Structure 1
Amino acid sequence: MPSTRRQAAAFVLGCAALVSAFAQPAPSASAAGAAPLRLIVPFTPGTGIDLIARTVGPKLAERLGRPVVVDNRAGASGNIGTEAVVRAAPNGTTLLVSVNTLVMNRSLYPKLPFDPVKDLVPVSLTSWGQLVLVASPRTNYTSAAQLVAAARQRPGAINYASPGVGTPHHLSMELFKATNQVFLTHIPYRGTAPAVTDLLGGQVDVAFLPIHVALPHIKAGKLNALAIGSEKRHALLPQVPTVEEARAGKVNVDMWYGVFAPPGTSPDFVQRINRELREILAAPDVRTAFETQGMDPATSSPDEFRRLVEQDSDRWARLIKAQGITAE
C-alpha cells in the first residue's frame, strides 16, 4: 500500500476509534445503574418496619433493574439508622424505611446532631399500623373504661409496659393517660419480647401492643383486649371497640410507616421511587403480607407524606412537652 493510502487509512481508523469512544456510556452513569440500593431499617429484624422493607425490596429490585438490600442499623430508638441516611450521599443508593418513632425522637432527643424531620426527604407513605390496648387477665380488666376507673381509684398503683422510652407504645399510653387524666406507672423494657413476657406473666398490668404481636395471645386467652387505639375497629379484631367507643376518650395512636431519602436527593429519583412504590403496594400479595401483620397498605405523594410527618411531629411534641417526657 502506498504511503499516502496508508496514512489515509490510519486517519479513518483513528476517527472511528474516537467516535466509538464518545459513543460509550459515561462510566459514572453505568456504575450508578448497577449500584445496589440500600433500604436502611433503623430497628432489628422481625419488626413491622423490617417486614415492609423485606416485602417491598425484591419487587423494587425487579422494577429498577438493580439489587436492593435491606440493612438493619438498630440502636438509640432508631436514631443510629436514621442518621446514617441523613449523612448518606444523595446519589440514589440509600433510602430509609421508618415509622413515626422518627418524629417522636425529634422532641425526645433535642440534642441530636440532625433534625429527623427537616433533614430527610419524604418519598412515600407505605402503610398504617394499629395498636391495641391489652391487659393481663390477672387484672380482671375487660374494658378500657374499667382501666380508667381503677386508675382513678389508685393513682400510680397500676403499671404499664413498653419496649422502651420514646416508642409508639410508650407515648400512646402517655396520650391515653393525658386524655383520661389518670396516672399509670411506666415500666420500660429493652424491646417488645421481654415486655410481652412480663405482661403474660402478670408482672405488669397493661400495654399498647401492635395487633400482630397481641393477636395470638388474645386468641389464646392470655391477654384481654380492651380497645383499639384507632378511629375505627380493625378487621383482625372486629369485636374489640375503639378507645372512644370504650368510653375512654378520643385516643388515635395509629402508626404510619414510610420511606425517606437523604437530603439533596433529586426530585426525579424521589418521584420515580414514589411511582414504583405506589404500584408495588397495590399488588394483592403485598397487601396480604401487610394485612396479616396488622398493617394496612397506603400510599401518598411526597408532598402529602411531608405534611403528614410535619403535623404528626407537632402533635407528639405537644404531648411530650405537656407530660415532661424525656429520653436523655
Structure 2
Amino acid sequence: MTNRRQVLSLSLLALAGVASAEAQTPPYPSRPITIVAPFPAGGGADVVARIISDRLRESLGQPVIIDNRVGAAGSIGTTMVARAPADGYTLLIASQSHTANPSLYAKLPWDPIKSFAPIVLVGVIPNVVAVSASSPYKTLADFVAYAKTKQGQVNYGSAGIGTSIHLTAEMLKQAAQINLTHIPYKSDSESYAALRAGDIAMAPLGLAFAKAHIDSGELRALAVTTPKRSRLLPNVPTAAESGFPAFDVRPWYAFLAPTGTPPAVVAKLNAAITEAMKTPAVQAKLLDLGLDLDPGTPEALTQFLQADASRWDKVIKQAGIRLE
C-alpha cells in the first residue's frame, strides 16, 4: 500500500511539473522573428519577404526582421536557417535556387526537403524569353527554327552560370532540341545590354526586370515560361502555347523553417502568412511584381518542392552543369 501511495505521489508531482512548465512557456510568438533572405537587398526574395513581413508584424504582434545573408548562390543563408533552432523564430524565404542547388553543387550542408519544415508557397512568377526589338524573330517557334539551322552558332545570355536564367535556357535547349552557346554575364542588366548591342541573339530574363524594357519597345517577348500567361504581359503566349510544352519553368518564392519546428508553430505561420497575402495592400504589391499567388498547405508545398527538385535534377544532369 505504501509503495502504491509513493508511486501515485510521484506521478502527481510529475504531472504538476509538466503543467507548471507548460504554464511558464509563453505562447508563440513571444519575441522577434527573423526571416533570412539568402540574396541581396532589393532582389526578388528580399522584396517579397519585406512586403509580407510588414503585415506579419501586425498580425503576430512581434517585430519581423529581414536578415540578408548573401553568398554561395544562396547557400550561406540557407545553411544558417537549416542549423537554427527549430522554434519558429528563424525562417527562410526560399526561391528556385533552393531546389536547383543540390544538383549543381557536389556537396551542400543541407537537403532541400529533409532539412526544412515547409510553411507556405507564396507563388510563381515567369521568366521571359526575350529578343531585341530589331530581331527578325517574332515567335519562339521562329527562334527555334533558326537555331536548328545554326546548331551551336546562336548565342544566348544569362545572369550567370547556375542561375535561374541559365537553367531556363538549358531547359529550352532540351525541350526544343537545339544547341545554343551560353554567354554568362553578371546580371540581367548586363545580359540586356548585350542583347541590345547584338552580342547575343536571345536572353531569358526575369519578368520584373524585362517588363519595363518590353513596354518601352526595346525588347520583344517571345514567350513566358509558366503554364499560364502573365497578367502583366497578357498578350505574350506561354511556351506551351508556342509549341513547347516541356519548356516549363516556374520561378517561385516560399517560406520554410528548420526541420523539427513544432506543427502548431508551422500551422500558425501558415495561417498568418496566408492571411497577410490576402490583405488588399499586400496582395496588390505582390501582384504588381507579376506573382501568381498560390498559398496552400505545408503538405502541398512539400509536393511542390519535390517536383521542382526532380525537374531541375534532370535538366542539370543532362546539361552536365557542375559548380564548386
Quick check: which has more Rg, 1 or 2? 1
CA distance 1:327–1:139, shift in 2 (3 Å): farther
- The answer (yes or no) to whether the contact 1:106–1:117 under 8 Å persists in 2 is no
1:174 aligns with 2:163: no
Structure 1's unaligned 5+ residue stretches are 1-21
In the TM superposition, 1:232-247 aligns within 5 A as 232-247=228-243
**2:292 & 2:307 partners in 1: Cα distance?**
20
Q: Which amino acid aligns with 2:268?
A: R
Asked if residue 146 in structure 1 is aligned to residue 142 in structure 2, the reply is: yes
Aligned-partner Cα distance in 1 for 2:147–2:222: 14
Deviating beyond 4 angstroms after TM superposition, the runs of 4 or more aligned structure 1 residues are none
Is there any run of 5+ residues in structure 2 with no aligned partner, and where? 1-19
Q: What's the CA shift string for 1:66-121, capped at 9, x where partnerless?
A: 10011111211111111110011112210000112100011111311221222111
Q: Does 1:161 align with 2:157?
A: yes
Q: Write out per-residue CA displacement over residues 211-261 of structure 1, whole angstroms, 9 at most, x where no aligned residue.
A: 221111011111111111122222211211111222344312122210000
Q: Judge conservation of contact 1:180–1:249 (CA < 8 Å) in 2.
A: no
| 1:227 matches 2:223 | yes
TM-score normalized by the length of structure 2: 0.88
Matched, 1:39 2:35: yes
Cα distance in 1 between the residues matched to 2:192 and 2:323 = 21
Is 1:323 the counterpart of 2:319? The answer is yes
Asked if 1 retains the 8 angstrom alpha-carbon contact of 2:125 and 2:226, the reply is no
Q: Does 1:286 align with 2:282?
A: yes
Query: Partner residue of 1:125?
Result: 121
Moved more, 66-75 or 111-120: 111-120
Residue 78 of structure 2 is aligned to residue 82 of structure 1: yes
Tell me which amino acid in the other structure corresponds to 1:266: P
Q: Percent identity?
A: 37
Q: Could you tell me which residue of structure 1 aligns to residue 12 of structure 2?
A: none
Alignment map for 1:61-100 (pairs within 5 Å): 61-100=57-96
Q: 1:239 is paired with a residue of what secondary structure? A: coil
**How far apart, in 1, do the equivalents of 2:29 and 2:274 lie?**
21
What is the aligned counterpart of 2:307 among 308, 311, 318? Answer: 311
Residues 256-302 of structure 1: CA deviation (Å, up to 9, x unaligned): 21000012211111110001111111112212101111112220101
The residue aligned with 2:7 is none
CA distance in structure 2 between the aligned counterparts of 1:304 and 1:276, rounded to whole angstroms? 17
Among 174, 193, 199, the residue aligned to 1:197: 193
2:284 aligns to what SS in structure 1? Answer: helix
Q: Report SS of the residue matched to 1:142.
A: coil
